[in-house]
Structure 1
């Protein structure tokens, strides 16, 4: 994961996060496997922090993957919607991720594990063709 602060003077449009896949997954209706080890990247947009809930909110707005055959797939949010959101690993009730504090800013640490919960069907990843 690479990212920016969730609060402070950074405009929301500049609060971008990039997450890499660790666990392999196979979308239910697709005949392909996305193996772990950086085969998929997820683009997130920070939406701010709730001090009362001690959660930072990051929407997933883009997905780019390469399957085990070398085919690329992607999906991007449309009309200001999100594809899903970032949450704590193993916490099915949470809608955000517990942030850390650095120099007065709320951040996610680079090597924090997160879970991504999808709101849009991951099976709608569109095949883009073979990767060079």
Structure 2
């Protein structure tokens, strides 16, 4: 039950950012959108910063799940990465990477480290599979 409320709150936060913009992301707005009391929200996320961190962590976790599913389908890591990206953009996941990153950039640049760490995992996996990635 607690996990479903947490998920509901994160989905509400993502939707608010995408529909109304980052300035409308308040704990009160998220709680109302999720149909949870503000106290219920604070049980899961003690602050807006924690909410945004949770949103970023869950977006990355969900992408990794989409990537694993695609890898089982295609057998190709590169194709799977692209397929998982498209699926997330198409809304097949619960969270929107754009909303998560926007929230991190707008409120706490330190959270971008989560994305940098995930990108390094991607680069490492590609290197293990024989690909060389170069930044132009």
> Could you tell me the TM-score, scaled by structure 1's length?
0.22
Between structure 1 and structure 2, the one with the greater Rg is: 2
Report which of the two has the higher share of helix: 2
Report which of the two has the higher share of strand: 1
